[in-house]
A and B are shown apart, each in its own frame.
Chain A
Amino acid sequence: MSEAHLIARVLEGDRLAGRELYDAHAPRVYRLAYRMTCDEDMARECTQDTFVRAFSKLNGFRQEAAFGTWIHRIAVSVVLQALRSKRRRSNRFVDIEEAHDVAAGDTMQDTELASRLERAVDELPEIYRTALIMHDLEGYTHAAIADVLSIAEGTSKTRVAHARAKLRDTLTALRDQ
């Protein structure tokens, strides 16, 4: 069944159709939310908020863009709002210690490197960080990022390049020590 049919059925209150749409997009939304927040609870909350908001605004979705693009647009908005809210509460983006815990025992051997890079990522301006995570960690194309963030494709490339340059400086500084 096409997404247009699923959307029509969701608008009629069909939960099963809602679940189908959710199954198709939730894993990727959750992954993006986790990559951006580095927090399991936040990622779960953001994913839930994304779909609740999407279903509540579904009658306003004109299907000019793909549903996937639309819901990722919502997801990015929800995640950024959550991060801003968290920053207001704790005056920092992510808990670096939690990031260490996640990295421990995996492919990351140099926890100092990971810590510094995480900190550098967190210190990136929001627009650069979002583009970098979407492109370099989640594999979105620049065209897709442009659609989701409602920016030009060239702008997406510029943001990713700028973010990479900042992180390279961090890595260089760490190696120079």
Chain B
Amino acid sequence: MTSRDEERTPMEDERMDETIRQTLAASRRPPEPPLDAMWAQIEKRAFHDAQPRLVLHTNPSRWYLPALAAAAALVFGVGLGWYAAPRNVVTRIVASPTATTTPVQRTASASESPETNTSTTDNANYVSSTRPSHATVPTQNTRTVAAPDLPDAAAARLASQFNDVGNGSDMSRYLAQTAVLLASLPSDHASAESDAAVATHAGELLTQTHLLLDSKAGSDPTLHRLLEDLELVLAQVARLRGQRNGTDLQLIHQTLTAHDVLPRVHDATIEASITD
């Protein structure tokens, strides 16, 4: 307390306090609060996160919803593809260590290989000449296809994982893996190790391509054409291993561009994911 307080009586202090209070109350008298205007700002700022959710629930016809769903499906497919990449080979793989043919050479004749003892009526061989051993795969409508670079035990194990080639899930996974592979092709100056890894993966996908061509899914004309184009591209990629000259990648990219392969793969991925 100050010296001036000591000179005043408590009653005087009370009167002064009241004067001060009334003076300040008058000078600081608040106006009517603009409640609605303030709430409009608060609502905009505090609940703005809720707006997209409300829009999604109340107006499903917005133009971006199909695109959003497609993008989500694509991302999911690509992610699944990455996750499943090392394990993906299809049915009924039979060891055939001595078979040798060239990639993407399709023949309509029956398989002559004694190791490829199948019950099919119209077999064809797809064998990479660069692979010393491989497995041949008789598919449901007569074709015998090579499954390159798979040890027999691994081939048998992986083959047992798939009993129904060409269902939507298999197709989604295959397309996603293929899209990833084609989008990450090595550069002109890639190392031999990088080429080998990509080529090995391409060989596995090439095998699946053959199987899918013969599956129910491959009977769809649009998808069949896409699979045939992929077969060509994947065979080119599978040959990247080892020595290559500068034109190899150029040819692959020309094929991809000329046939709009990647956009068609994306479209097919979305289509397959929808029908899963």
Contact = CB atoms under 8 A, between A and B. Distances in A.
Interface of A: 13, 15, 18-19, 22-23, 26-27, 30-31, 34-35, 38, 40, 43-44, 47-48, 51-52, 55-56, 99-100, 102-103, 106-108, 110, 113-114, 117-118, 121, 133, 136-137, 164-165, 167-169, 171-172
B23 A108 contact: yes
Contacts of A31: 30, 33
Given A13-B49, A30-B30, 6 more contacts: A18-B47, A30-B33, A55-B42, A118-B27, A136-B20, A169-B5
Chain A interface, DSSP helix/strand/loop, else mixed: helix
Contacts of A121: 24
Contacts of A169: 2, 4-5
Interface in B1-50: 1-2, 4-5, 8, 13, 16-17, 19-31, 33-35, 37-39, 41-43, 45-47, 49-50
Nearest to A31: B30
B53 interface: yes
A108 B23 CA distance: 6
A168 B46 contact: no
A12 to B, nearest CB: 9
Interface residues of B, number: 36
Given A13-B47, A168-B5, A34 B20 contact: no
B47 A15 contact: yes
Given A48-B41, A106-B29, A168 B4 contact: yes
Contact of B26 (A15, A103, A133): A103
B20 A167 contact: yes
B50 A137 contact: no
B30 A35 contact: yes
Given A15-B47, A23-B35, A168-B13, A108 B27 contact: yes
A102 B31 CA distance: 9
B34 A108 contact: no
Given A48-B38, A52-B42, A55-B46, A164 B20 contact: yes
10 contacts: A15-B50, A22-B35, A22-B42, A44-B37, A51-B38, A99-B28, A103-B26, A107-B26, A137-B28, A169-B2
A168 B8 contact: yes
Contacts of B37: 44
